[in-house]
Protein backbone atom coordinates (compact mmCIF):
# COMPACT_ATOMS: atom_id res chain seq x y z
CA UNK A 1 0.00 0.00 0.00
CA UNK A 2 0.98 3.62 -0.39
CA UNK A 3 0.56 6.70 1.75
CA UNK A 4 -2.42 8.95 1.00
CA UNK A 5 -2.22 12.41 2.53
CA UNK A 6 -5.24 14.64 3.19
CA UNK A 7 -5.10 18.13 4.65
CA UNK A 8 -8.22 19.25 6.49
CA UNK A 9 -8.40 22.87 7.57
CA UNK A 10 -11.35 23.35 9.88
CA UNK A 11 -13.06 26.70 10.25
CA UNK A 12 -16.46 28.25 10.74
CA UNK A 13 -18.29 30.40 8.26
CA UNK A 14 -21.66 31.40 6.92
CA UNK A 15 -23.16 28.85 4.54
CA UNK A 16 -26.61 28.21 3.07
CA UNK A 17 -26.91 24.52 2.14
CA UNK A 18 -30.68 24.86 1.63
CA UNK A 19 -30.86 28.61 1.02
CA UNK A 20 -31.02 29.41 4.76
CA UNK A 21 -27.75 31.08 5.84
CA UNK A 22 -26.18 30.23 9.15
CA UNK A 23 -22.76 29.69 10.66
CA UNK A 24 -21.55 26.14 10.16
CA UNK A 25 -18.30 24.18 10.33
CA UNK A 26 -16.38 24.04 7.09
CA UNK A 27 -13.57 21.76 5.98
CA UNK A 28 -11.18 23.45 3.52
CA UNK A 29 -13.96 26.02 3.13
CA UNK A 30 -16.34 23.31 1.91
CA UNK A 31 -19.44 21.58 3.14
CA UNK A 32 -19.73 18.62 3.23
CA UNK A 33 -16.03 17.89 3.72
CA UNK A 34 -13.90 16.44 0.91
CA UNK A 35 -14.14 12.73 0.20
CA UNK A 36 -11.21 10.90 1.78
CA UNK A 37 -10.43 7.96 -0.49
CA UNK A 38 -7.74 5.31 -0.54
CA UNK A 39 -7.18 1.68 -1.42
CA UNK A 40 -7.26 -1.23 0.96
CA UNK A 41 -3.74 -1.61 2.35
CA UNK A 42 -2.90 2.10 2.12
CA UNK A 43 -1.92 4.29 5.02
CA UNK A 44 -4.08 7.36 5.53
CA UNK A 45 -2.38 10.50 6.75
CA UNK A 46 -4.97 13.07 7.83
CA UNK A 47 -3.51 16.44 8.78
CA UNK A 48 -5.99 18.47 10.79
CA UNK A 49 -5.48 22.19 11.15
CA UNK A 50 -7.90 23.57 13.73
CA UNK A 51 -8.83 27.16 12.88
CA UNK A 52 -11.81 27.14 15.29
CA UNK A 53 -12.12 28.95 18.61
CA UNK A 54 -12.64 25.60 20.28
CA UNK A 55 -11.08 22.14 20.30
CA UNK A 56 -11.99 19.44 17.83
CA UNK A 57 -11.35 15.79 16.87
CA UNK A 58 -11.70 13.65 13.75
CA UNK A 59 -13.07 10.12 14.07
CA UNK A 60 -12.93 7.73 11.12
CA UNK A 61 -16.21 5.91 11.59
CA UNK A 62 -15.93 2.16 11.01
CA UNK A 63 -12.14 2.07 10.64
CA UNK A 64 -10.60 -0.53 12.95
CA UNK A 65 -7.47 1.42 14.00
CA UNK A 66 -5.74 -1.88 14.72
CA UNK A 67 -2.48 -1.04 16.49
CA UNK A 68 -3.30 2.68 16.49
CA UNK A 69 -6.12 3.02 19.06
CA UNK A 70 -4.95 6.58 19.88
CA UNK A 71 -6.11 7.72 16.43
CA UNK A 72 -9.77 6.78 16.90
CA UNK A 73 -10.59 10.44 17.54
CA UNK A 74 -12.89 10.21 20.56
CA UNK A 75 -12.43 12.91 23.22
CA UNK A 76 -12.69 11.49 26.73
CA UNK A 77 -11.90 8.00 25.45
CA UNK A 78 -8.97 7.98 23.01
CA UNK A 79 -7.57 11.51 22.98
CA UNK A 80 -7.68 15.06 24.26
CA UNK A 81 -9.08 17.54 21.75
CA UNK A 82 -6.94 19.29 19.15
CA UNK A 83 -6.79 22.79 20.66
CA UNK A 84 -7.92 25.96 18.95
CA UNK A 85 -5.16 27.02 16.56
CA UNK A 86 -3.43 23.64 16.85
CA UNK A 87 -2.63 20.91 14.35
CA UNK A 88 -2.63 17.16 14.64
CA UNK A 89 -2.01 14.27 12.26
CA UNK A 90 -3.89 10.99 12.30
CA UNK A 91 -1.82 8.26 10.58
CA UNK A 92 -3.23 4.77 10.27
CA UNK A 93 -3.18 1.72 8.06
CA UNK A 94 -6.46 0.77 6.39
CA UNK A 95 -6.76 -2.98 5.93
CA UNK A 96 -10.45 -3.09 5.16
CA UNK A 97 -12.57 -1.80 2.28
CA UNK A 98 -15.98 -0.27 1.81
CA UNK A 99 -18.03 2.79 2.67
CA UNK A 100 -17.21 4.80 5.77
CA UNK A 101 -17.30 8.41 6.90
CA UNK A 102 -15.35 10.77 9.08
CA UNK A 103 -16.73 13.22 11.57
CA UNK A 104 -15.86 15.30 14.57
CA UNK A 105 -16.56 13.39 17.78
CA UNK A 106 -16.57 16.59 19.82
CA UNK A 107 -19.88 17.88 21.13
CA UNK A 108 -22.41 18.61 18.34
CA UNK A 109 -19.82 19.59 15.71
CA UNK A 110 -20.53 16.90 13.14
CA UNK A 111 -24.21 17.75 12.81
CA UNK A 112 -23.24 21.33 11.92
CA UNK A 113 -20.93 20.42 9.06
CA UNK A 114 -17.81 18.69 10.37
CA UNK A 115 -18.38 15.59 8.30
CA UNK A 116 -17.35 13.88 5.07
CA UNK A 117 -17.23 10.51 3.26
CA UNK A 118 -14.37 8.05 3.68
CA UNK A 119 -14.20 5.47 0.89
CA UNK A 120 -11.81 2.53 0.77
CA UNK A 121 -11.51 0.89 -2.64
CA UNK A 122 -10.47 -2.69 -3.13
CA UNK A 123 -9.41 -3.81 -6.62
CA UNK A 124 -10.19 -7.39 -5.52
CA UNK A 125 -13.76 -6.44 -4.57
CA UNK A 126 -16.01 -9.24 -5.94
CA UNK A 127 -18.38 -6.74 -7.61
CA UNK A 128 -15.87 -4.46 -9.37
CA UNK A 129 -16.82 -5.85 -12.78
CA UNK A 130 -20.51 -5.32 -12.08
CA UNK A 131 -20.47 -1.53 -12.19
CA UNK A 132 -18.92 1.20 -14.33
CA UNK A 133 -18.97 4.22 -12.02
CA UNK A 134 -19.34 5.18 -8.40
CA UNK A 135 -21.54 7.80 -6.78
CA UNK A 136 -21.47 8.83 -3.12
CA UNK A 137 -24.70 10.03 -1.52
CA UNK A 138 -24.42 11.69 1.87
CA UNK A 139 -27.76 12.05 3.66
CA UNK A 140 -28.29 14.18 6.72
CA UNK A 141 -30.91 16.04 8.66
CA UNK A 142 -30.28 19.74 9.04
CA UNK A 143 -31.01 22.31 11.75
CA UNK A 144 -31.29 26.05 11.30
CA UNK A 145 -30.27 26.66 14.94
CA UNK A 146 -26.78 25.98 16.26
CA UNK A 147 -26.13 22.83 18.33
CA UNK A 148 -25.20 24.54 21.62
CA UNK A 149 -28.52 26.41 21.63
CA UNK A 150 -30.51 23.28 20.79
CA UNK A 151 -28.60 21.26 23.33
CA UNK A 152 -29.13 23.80 26.10
CA UNK A 153 -32.90 23.61 25.66
CA UNK A 154 -32.84 19.83 25.21
CA UNK A 155 -31.06 19.37 28.54
CA UNK A 156 -33.77 21.08 30.59
CA UNK A 157 -36.78 19.65 32.47
CA UNK A 158 -39.08 21.42 29.99
CA UNK A 159 -37.93 19.32 27.02
CA UNK A 160 -38.96 16.10 28.83
CA UNK A 161 -36.31 14.41 26.75
CA UNK A 162 -38.01 15.28 23.45
CA UNK A 163 -35.23 15.73 20.92
CA UNK A 164 -35.13 18.89 18.79
CA UNK A 165 -36.75 18.36 15.40
CA UNK A 166 -34.64 19.05 12.32
CA UNK A 167 -35.74 21.89 10.03
CA UNK A 168 -34.73 20.18 6.82
CA UNK A 169 -32.72 17.36 5.27
CA UNK A 170 -29.87 17.42 2.75
CA UNK A 171 -28.53 15.21 -0.02
CA UNK A 172 -24.81 15.88 -0.58
CA UNK A 173 -25.21 19.11 1.33
CA UNK A 174 -28.10 20.52 -0.69
CA UNK A 175 -31.84 21.06 -0.58
CA UNK A 176 -34.28 23.93 -0.85
CA UNK A 177 -36.35 25.47 1.90
CA UNK A 178 -39.57 27.42 1.96
CA UNK A 179 -38.33 30.70 3.45
CA UNK A 180 -41.81 31.74 4.54
CA UNK A 181 -41.24 29.30 7.43
CA UNK A 182 -37.97 30.97 8.44
CA UNK A 183 -37.98 33.36 11.40
CA UNK A 184 -38.27 37.05 10.54
CA UNK A 185 -34.92 38.64 9.86
CA UNK A 186 -33.22 35.46 8.69
CA UNK A 187 -31.16 35.42 5.56
CA UNK A 188 -33.00 32.89 3.41
CA UNK A 189 -33.29 32.39 -0.35
CA UNK A 190 -36.09 30.29 -1.85
CA UNK A 191 -35.57 27.58 -4.49
CA UNK A 192 -31.98 26.76 -3.60
CA UNK A 193 -30.60 24.17 -6.01
CA UNK A 194 -30.90 20.44 -5.38
CA UNK A 195 -28.11 17.93 -5.83
CA UNK A 196 -27.89 16.57 -9.33
CA UNK A 197 -26.54 13.20 -10.52
CA UNK A 198 -25.94 12.19 -14.12
CA UNK A 199 -26.60 8.75 -15.52
CA UNK A 200 -25.25 7.52 -18.83
CA UNK A 201 -27.71 5.18 -20.49
CA UNK A 202 -26.66 1.54 -20.19
CA UNK A 203 -24.11 2.13 -17.45
CA UNK A 204 -24.18 0.56 -14.01
CA UNK A 205 -23.55 2.60 -10.88
CA UNK A 206 -22.35 1.67 -7.44
CA UNK A 207 -24.11 4.15 -5.19
CA UNK A 208 -22.69 4.48 -1.69
CA UNK A 209 -25.29 5.81 0.73
CA UNK A 210 -24.20 7.26 4.08
CA UNK A 211 -26.58 8.62 6.73
CA UNK A 212 -24.73 11.29 8.72
CA UNK A 213 -27.76 12.63 10.58
CA UNK A 214 -28.05 13.93 14.11
CA UNK A 215 -31.46 12.40 14.66
CA UNK A 216 -33.17 11.14 11.53
CA UNK A 217 -33.44 7.76 9.89
CA UNK A 218 -34.14 7.95 6.14
CA UNK A 219 -35.80 5.81 3.48
CA UNK A 220 -33.79 6.13 0.29
CA UNK A 221 -35.00 5.44 -3.25
CA UNK A 222 -34.65 6.40 -6.91
CA UNK A 223 -37.90 6.47 -8.88
CA UNK A 224 -38.26 3.57 -11.36
CA UNK A 225 -34.80 2.20 -10.52
CA UNK A 226 -34.45 -0.93 -8.37
CA UNK A 227 -31.31 -1.14 -6.26
CA UNK A 228 -29.22 -4.22 -5.51
CA UNK A 229 -27.64 -4.04 -2.06
CA UNK A 230 -24.06 -5.37 -2.23
CA UNK A 231 -22.36 -3.86 0.81
CA UNK A 232 -23.32 -3.19 4.41
CA UNK A 233 -20.74 -1.10 6.26
CA UNK A 234 -17.64 -2.59 4.66
CA UNK A 235 -18.96 -6.14 4.50
CA UNK A 236 -19.90 -7.42 1.05
CA UNK A 237 -23.27 -9.15 0.77
CA UNK A 238 -25.01 -11.29 -1.78
CA UNK A 239 -27.19 -9.18 -4.04
CA UNK A 240 -30.52 -8.24 -2.55
CA UNK A 241 -32.95 -6.10 -4.55
CA UNK A 242 -34.89 -3.31 -2.84
CA UNK A 243 -36.90 -0.32 -4.01
CA UNK A 244 -36.94 1.64 -0.76
CA UNK A 245 -33.94 1.34 1.54
CA UNK A 246 -34.22 2.26 5.24
CA UNK A 247 -30.95 3.64 6.58
CA UNK A 248 -30.47 4.82 10.14
CA UNK A 249 -27.88 7.23 11.49
CA UNK A 250 -24.25 6.22 10.84
CA UNK A 251 -25.26 3.26 8.68
CA UNK A 252 -23.96 2.79 5.12
CA UNK A 253 -24.98 0.68 2.14
CA UNK A 254 -23.69 0.23 -1.39
CA UNK A 255 -26.26 -0.55 -4.06
CA UNK A 256 -25.87 -1.28 -7.76
CA UNK A 257 -28.28 0.62 -10.02
CA UNK A 258 -28.55 0.09 -13.77
CA UNK A 259 -29.32 3.09 -15.98
CA UNK A 260 -31.63 1.15 -18.28
CA UNK A 261 -34.75 3.33 -18.15
CA UNK A 262 -36.02 5.93 -20.64
CA UNK A 263 -33.70 8.91 -21.14
CA UNK A 264 -35.21 11.57 -18.87
CA UNK A 265 -34.95 12.81 -15.27
CA UNK A 266 -35.93 10.97 -12.10
CA UNK A 267 -36.28 11.90 -8.44
CA UNK A 268 -33.84 10.55 -5.94
CA UNK A 269 -35.74 10.56 -2.63
CA UNK A 270 -34.64 10.46 0.97
CA UNK A 271 -37.65 10.46 3.26
CA UNK A 272 -37.01 11.46 6.83
CA UNK A 273 -38.69 8.99 9.16
CA UNK A 274 -40.63 11.51 11.22
CA UNK A 275 -42.73 8.68 12.67
CA UNK A 276 -39.82 8.08 15.07
CA UNK A 277 -39.51 11.71 16.21
CA UNK A 278 -40.86 12.85 19.57
CA UNK A 279 -41.84 16.19 18.05
CA UNK A 280 -41.86 17.25 14.41
CA UNK A 281 -41.22 20.83 13.39
CA UNK A 282 -44.41 22.06 11.64
CA UNK A 283 -42.34 23.57 8.82
CA UNK A 284 -40.38 20.39 8.12
CA UNK A 285 -40.82 18.92 4.65
CA UNK A 286 -39.64 15.36 5.36
CA UNK A 287 -39.17 14.45 1.70
CA UNK A 288 -35.65 15.38 0.60
CA UNK A 289 -35.04 15.24 -3.13
CA UNK A 290 -32.20 15.25 -5.63
CA UNK A 291 -32.33 14.89 -9.40
CA UNK A 292 -30.99 12.00 -11.46
CA UNK A 293 -30.72 13.04 -15.11
CA UNK A 294 -29.78 10.76 -17.98
CA UNK A 295 -27.27 12.32 -20.35
CA UNK A 296 -29.14 13.56 -23.41
CA UNK A 297 -32.34 14.11 -21.48
CA UNK A 298 -34.34 17.21 -22.37
CA UNK A 299 -36.40 17.33 -19.16
CA UNK A 300 -34.45 18.79 -16.29
CA UNK A 301 -37.34 18.58 -13.87
CA UNK A 302 -38.49 15.02 -13.10
CA UNK A 303 -42.10 13.90 -13.35
CA UNK A 304 -41.40 10.39 -12.07
CA UNK A 305 -43.47 8.75 -9.33
CA UNK A 306 -42.24 7.21 -6.11
CA UNK A 307 -42.04 3.50 -5.33
CA UNK A 308 -44.89 2.46 -3.09
CA UNK A 309 -43.41 -0.58 -1.33
CA UNK A 310 -44.23 -0.52 2.35
CA UNK A 311 -41.29 -0.27 4.74
CA UNK A 312 -41.69 -0.62 8.50
CA UNK A 313 -40.98 2.65 10.23
CA UNK A 314 -37.90 3.21 12.32
CA UNK A 315 -36.32 -0.21 11.81
CA UNK A 316 -33.29 -1.42 9.85
CA UNK A 317 -33.45 -3.21 6.54
CA UNK A 318 -34.43 -6.72 7.67
CA UNK A 319 -31.12 -8.48 8.33
CA UNK A 320 -32.62 -11.87 7.53
CA UNK A 321 -32.72 -10.79 3.87
CA UNK A 322 -29.02 -9.98 3.82
CA UNK A 323 -26.45 -12.73 3.37
CA UNK A 324 -22.70 -12.24 3.65
CA UNK A 325 -20.82 -12.62 0.36
CA UNK A 326 -18.29 -14.83 2.13
CA UNK A 327 -20.04 -16.47 5.06
CA UNK A 328 -17.62 -17.11 7.91
CA UNK A 329 -17.94 -19.50 10.76
CA UNK A 330 -19.19 -17.55 13.77
CA UNK A 331 -17.21 -18.47 16.89
CA UNK A 332 -18.78 -19.26 20.24
CA UNK A 333 -18.84 -16.41 22.73
CA UNK A 334 -16.79 -16.65 25.88
CA UNK A 335 -17.92 -13.42 27.53
CA UNK A 336 -21.16 -11.49 27.56
CA UNK A 337 -22.29 -8.07 28.72
CA UNK A 338 -25.84 -6.89 29.17
CA UNK A 339 -26.24 -3.30 28.04
CA UNK A 340 -29.53 -1.85 29.21
CA UNK A 341 -30.80 1.40 27.70
CA UNK A 342 -33.08 3.71 29.63
CA UNK A 343 -34.08 7.37 29.68
CA UNK A 344 -35.14 8.88 32.98
CA UNK A 345 -35.07 12.22 34.83
CA UNK A 346 -31.99 12.92 36.93
CA UNK A 347 -32.09 14.71 40.31
CA UNK A 348 -32.65 18.04 38.50
CA UNK A 349 -35.52 16.56 36.52
CA UNK A 350 -33.53 16.62 33.29
CA UNK A 351 -34.16 13.51 31.21
CA UNK A 352 -30.87 11.75 30.51
CA UNK A 353 -29.77 8.54 28.83
CA UNK A 354 -28.60 5.69 31.08
CA UNK A 355 -26.63 2.56 30.30
CA UNK A 356 -27.08 0.01 33.06
CA UNK A 357 -28.41 2.81 35.29
CA UNK A 358 -25.41 5.06 34.76
CA UNK A 359 -25.35 8.19 32.63
CA UNK A 360 -21.99 8.81 30.93
CA UNK A 361 -19.91 11.84 31.88
CA UNK A 362 -17.12 12.73 29.52
CA UNK A 363 -13.70 13.12 31.18
CA UNK A 364 -12.35 15.52 28.59
CA UNK A 365 -8.85 16.08 29.96
CA UNK A 366 -8.11 12.53 31.01
CA UNK A 367 -9.32 10.11 28.35
CA UNK A 368 -9.69 6.46 29.28
CA UNK A 369 -6.73 5.31 27.22
CA UNK A 370 -4.46 7.76 29.10
CA UNK A 371 -5.74 6.30 32.34
CA UNK A 372 -4.78 2.87 31.03
CA UNK A 373 -1.28 4.10 30.20
CA UNK A 374 -1.06 5.56 33.68
CA UNK A 375 -1.84 2.21 35.26
CA UNK A 376 -5.47 2.82 36.23
CA UNK A 377 -7.39 -0.47 36.44
CA UNK A 378 -10.63 0.70 38.06
CA UNK A 379 -12.84 3.21 36.29
CA UNK A 380 -15.43 5.54 37.76
CA UNK A 381 -19.04 4.34 37.41
CA UNK A 382 -19.94 7.27 35.14
CA UNK A 383 -17.35 6.08 32.58
CA UNK A 384 -19.57 3.11 31.65
CA UNK A 385 -16.56 0.87 31.02
CA UNK A 386 -16.84 -2.74 29.94
CA UNK A 387 -13.51 -4.39 30.57
CA UNK A 388 -12.30 -7.18 28.29
CA UNK A 389 -8.99 -8.34 29.77
CA UNK A 390 -8.01 -10.93 27.17
CA UNK A 391 -8.52 -11.80 23.54
CA UNK A 392 -12.16 -12.97 23.63
CA UNK A 393 -15.37 -13.41 21.71
CA UNK A 394 -17.90 -11.05 23.27
CA UNK A 395 -21.69 -10.97 23.15
CA UNK A 396 -23.43 -7.66 23.73
CA UNK A 397 -26.98 -8.23 24.88
CA UNK A 398 -28.62 -4.92 24.20
CA UNK A 399 -31.89 -4.41 26.06
CA UNK A 400 -33.87 -1.30 25.17
CA UNK A 401 -36.23 -0.17 27.93
CA UNK A 402 -36.87 3.09 26.13
CA UNK A 403 -39.89 3.95 23.99
CA UNK A 404 -37.63 5.07 21.12
CA UNK A 405 -35.27 3.09 18.91
CA UNK A 406 -31.51 3.60 19.06
CA UNK A 407 -28.86 3.14 16.36
CA UNK A 408 -25.93 1.69 18.33
CA UNK A 409 -22.40 1.88 16.98
CA UNK A 410 -19.35 -0.08 18.11
CA UNK A 411 -15.98 1.52 17.40
CA UNK A 412 -12.97 -0.47 16.16
CA UNK A 413 -14.89 -3.59 15.07
CA UNK A 414 -17.69 -5.08 13.10
CA UNK A 415 -20.10 -7.32 14.97
CA UNK A 416 -22.26 -10.18 13.85
CA UNK A 417 -25.88 -9.21 14.23
CA UNK A 418 -27.17 -12.44 15.74
CA UNK A 419 -30.69 -11.19 16.17
CA UNK A 420 -33.01 -8.47 17.32
CA UNK A 421 -36.60 -8.27 18.47
CA UNK A 422 -39.41 -5.80 18.83
CA UNK A 423 -41.27 -4.44 21.83
CA UNK A 424 -42.50 -7.13 24.18
CA UNK A 425 -39.97 -9.79 23.14
CA UNK A 426 -36.82 -10.95 24.92
CA UNK A 427 -33.59 -12.36 23.52
CA UNK A 428 -33.97 -16.08 23.05
CA UNK A 429 -30.81 -18.15 22.53
CA UNK A 430 -32.66 -20.49 20.21
CA UNK A 431 -33.78 -17.70 17.92
CA UNK A 432 -30.34 -16.25 17.24
CA UNK A 433 -28.73 -16.71 13.83
CA UNK A 434 -25.15 -17.85 14.42
CA UNK A 435 -25.12 -19.55 11.03
CA UNK A 436 -24.91 -16.83 8.38
CA UNK A 437 -25.51 -13.45 10.02
CA UNK A 438 -24.23 -10.25 8.44
CA UNK A 439 -21.59 -8.14 10.10
CA UNK A 440 -21.82 -4.39 10.45
CA UNK A 441 -20.82 -1.62 12.85
CA UNK A 442 -24.15 0.13 13.51
CA UNK A 443 -27.55 -1.43 14.18
CA UNK A 444 -30.89 -0.20 15.44
CA UNK A 445 -32.26 -1.72 18.61
CA UNK A 446 -36.07 -1.49 18.34
CA UNK A 447 -38.13 0.50 20.84
CA UNK A 448 -38.78 -1.71 23.87
CA UNK A 449 -36.85 -4.47 22.11
CA UNK A 450 -33.42 -6.05 22.05
CA UNK A 451 -30.46 -6.98 19.90
CA UNK A 452 -27.60 -9.44 20.34
CA UNK A 453 -24.25 -8.49 18.80
CA UNK A 454 -21.14 -10.70 18.78
CA UNK A 455 -17.63 -9.45 18.12
CA UNK A 456 -14.09 -10.74 18.33
CA UNK A 457 -12.27 -8.57 20.85
CA UNK A 458 -8.71 -8.92 19.56
CA UNK A 459 -8.01 -5.22 18.97
CA UNK A 460 -6.38 -3.69 22.04
CA UNK A 461 -7.78 -0.22 22.64
CA UNK A 462 -10.64 1.83 24.03
CA UNK A 463 -13.69 1.46 21.83
CA UNK A 464 -16.80 3.54 22.14
CA UNK A 465 -20.18 1.84 22.12
CA UNK A 466 -22.98 4.36 21.92
CA UNK A 467 -26.24 5.42 20.41
CA UNK A 468 -25.38 7.56 17.36
CA UNK A 469 -28.27 10.00 17.83
CA UNK A 470 -26.18 13.06 18.68
CA UNK A 471 -28.70 14.31 21.26
CA UNK A 472 -28.40 10.96 23.03
CA UNK A 473 -24.60 11.09 22.97
CA UNK A 474 -24.87 14.46 24.68
CA UNK A 475 -27.35 13.12 27.24
CA UNK A 476 -25.10 10.27 28.33
CA UNK A 477 -26.11 7.22 26.26
CA UNK A 478 -22.46 6.28 25.85
CA UNK A 479 -20.26 3.42 27.02
CA UNK A 480 -16.81 2.08 26.13
CA UNK A 481 -15.04 -1.24 25.84
CA UNK A 482 -11.54 -1.28 27.29
CA UNK A 483 -9.95 -4.16 25.41
CA UNK A 484 -6.75 -5.78 26.65
CA UNK A 485 -5.34 -2.93 28.73
CA UNK A 486 -2.09 -4.85 29.26
CA UNK A 487 -1.61 -5.01 25.50
CA UNK A 488 -2.49 -1.33 25.06
CA UNK A 489 0.41 -0.49 27.37
CA UNK A 490 2.85 -2.41 25.16
CA UNK A 491 1.83 -0.32 22.10
CA UNK A 492 4.11 2.65 21.76
CA UNK A 493 1.89 5.70 21.51
CA UNK A 494 3.10 8.85 19.71
CA UNK A 495 4.51 11.76 21.72
CA UNK A 496 2.47 14.45 19.92
CA UNK A 497 -0.67 12.55 20.80
CA UNK A 498 0.26 12.39 24.49
CA UNK A 499 1.06 16.11 24.35
CA UNK A 500 -2.57 16.90 23.47
CA UNK A 501 -3.47 16.13 27.08
CA UNK A 502 -2.62 19.03 29.37
CA UNK A 503 -1.23 17.30 32.45
CA UNK A 504 -1.49 13.52 32.42
CU1 LIG B 1 -19.62 7.80 14.11
CU2 LIG B 1 -18.62 7.25 18.02
O3 LIG B 1 -19.07 7.50 16.04
* Ligand 1 contact via 250 beta carbon (within 6 Å): yes
* Ligand 1 contact via 105 beta carbon (within 6 Å): yes
Q: pLDDT at position 504, please? A: 52
Q: pLDDT at position 169, please? A: 98
Contacts of residue 394, Cβ cutoff 8 Å, sequence gap at least 6 = 333, 334, 335, 336, 337, 388, 454, 455, 456, 457, 481
* Ligand 1 contact via 466 beta carbon (within 6 Å): yes
Closest by CA to 475, choosing from 108, 56, 76, is: 108
Q: pLDDT at position 429, please? A: 87
User: Sign of dihedral through CA atoms 161, 167, 168, 172?
Assistant: negative
Query: How far is ligand 1, taken at its centre, from the CA of residue 195, in Å?
Result: 26
Q: pLDDT at position 277, please? A: 95
Question: For the chain, which ranges sit under pLDDT 50?
Answer: none
Closest ligand 1 atom to the C-alpha of 101? 1
Q: Where are the domains of the chain?
A: 1-121, 127-324, 335-498
Query: How far is ligand 1, taken at its centre, from the CA of residue 57, in Å?
Result: 11
Query: How far is ligand 1, taken at its centre, from the CA of residue 105, in Å?
Result: 7
CB distance 45 to 91 below 8 Å? yes
In the three-class reduction of DSSP (H, G, I as helix; E, B as strand; rest coil), residue 321 is classed as helix
Query: How far is ligand 1, taken at its centre, from the CA of residue 259, in Å?
Result: 34
Whether 127-324 and 1-121 are alike in CATH topology: the answer is: yes
- Kindly report the protein residue whose alpha carbon is nearest to atom 2 of ligand 1: 464
Query: How far is ligand 1, taken at its centre, from the CA of residue 468, in Å?
Result: 6
Query: How far is ligand 1, taken at its centre, from the CA of residue 342, in Å?
Result: 20
Query: How far is ligand 1, taken at its centre, from the CA of residue 502, in Å?
Result: 24
Question: What does the pLDDT look like over 446-477, one tens digit per residue?
Answer: 999 999 999 999 999 999 999 999 999 999 99
Closest ligand 1 atom to the C-alpha of 74? 2
- Kindly report the protein residue whose alpha carbon is nearest to atom 1 of ligand 1: 61
Q: pLDDT at position 473, please? A: 98
- As a whole number of angstroms, the distance between CA 198 and CA 324 comes to 30
Identify the CATH number of the domain defined by range 127-324. Answer: 2.60.40.420
Closest by CA to 213, choosing from 154, 254, 163, 255, is: 163
- As a whole number of angstroms, the distance between CA 385 and CA 379 comes to 7
Q: pLDDT at position 386, please? A: 98
Closest ligand 1 atom to the C-alpha of 61? 1
- Kindly report the protein residue whose alpha carbon is nearest to atom 3 of ligand 1: 61
Neighbouring CB atoms inside 10 A of 84's CB total 12
Closest ligand 1 atom to the C-alpha of 62? 1
Identify the CATH number of the domain defined by range 1-121. Answer: 2.60.40.420
CB distance 503 to 493 below 8 Å? no
* Ligand 1 contact via 144 beta carbon (within 6 Å): no
CATH architecture of 335-498: Sandwich (2.60)
Bridge partners (DSSP) listed for residue 12:
25
Amino acid sequence: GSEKVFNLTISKGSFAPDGFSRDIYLINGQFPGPSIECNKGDTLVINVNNQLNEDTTIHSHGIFQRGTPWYDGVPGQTQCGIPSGGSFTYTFAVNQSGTYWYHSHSRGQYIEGLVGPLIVHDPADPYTKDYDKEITVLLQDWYHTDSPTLLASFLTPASQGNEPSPDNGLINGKNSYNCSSAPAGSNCVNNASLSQFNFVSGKKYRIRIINTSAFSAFIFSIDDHPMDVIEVEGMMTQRYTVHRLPINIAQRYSVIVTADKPVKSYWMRAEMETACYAVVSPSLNPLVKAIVTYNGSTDQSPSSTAWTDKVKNCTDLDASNLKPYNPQKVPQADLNFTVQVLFQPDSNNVTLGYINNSTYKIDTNNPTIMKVYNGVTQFAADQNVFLVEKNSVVDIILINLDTGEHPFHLHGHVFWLLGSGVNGTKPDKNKLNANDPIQRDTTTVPAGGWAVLRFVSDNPGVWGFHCHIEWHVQSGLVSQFVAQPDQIKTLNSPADWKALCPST
